Structure 1
Amino acid sequence: MEVKIGVQNTSREITIESDESPEEIESTVTAAFTNSTPLRLVDSKGSVVLVPSAALAYVEIGAPRRGGVGFGML
């Protein structure tokens, strides 16, 4: 699933592919806002993305990814 993170005062957004469900991601984002802790997400390749919750402009959670067609799909 694709997750787009907008950061204040930055013209580009952060985009990651995650294996987590939309509910899990929403829960993680809500906890970061509630506790004023950094948003911590892990992408599908195991890389960790940390964003200070005070700097978040928005988080867009896409639909679950379906099986792809073409090169590079495992």
Structure 2
Amino acid sequence: MEVKIGVQHASRDLVIETEESPESIEKLVSEAIGSEGMLALTDHRGRRILVPAAKLAYVEIGVHTAQVGFRH
């Protein structure tokens, strides 16, 4: 699952590949915002990504699609 996180005052967004389900990610985001804590996700390599909930601009949850070749 690909998760794209926009962070306030950052020029680039974070893109994370994770094994979490969309429902699980949505729940983690909601809990982090509700508690004004940290959004904590683990990527597919086992790395832990922490983002302060107060700095979240948006979270986009979607399926990663591999692209091979060039677009015309």
Q: TM-score, normalised by structure 1?
A: 0.84
Percent identity of paired positions between Structure 1 and Structure 2 = 52
* Number of aligned residue pairs: 68
**Counterpart of 1:42?**
42
As a proportion of its length, which structure holds more strand?
2
Which runs of 5 or more structure 1 residues have no equivalent in the other structure? Answer: none
Aligned-pair distance for 1:49?
0.3
Matched with 1:19 is: 19
Q: Which residue is equivalent to 1:31?
A: 31
- For residue 7 of structure 1, report the CA deviation from its aligned partner: 0.2
Q: What do you get for the CA RMSD once the two structures are aligned?
A: 1.7
TM-score of the pair, normalised by structure 2: 0.87
Unaligned runs of 5+ in 2: none
Moved over 3 A (4+): none
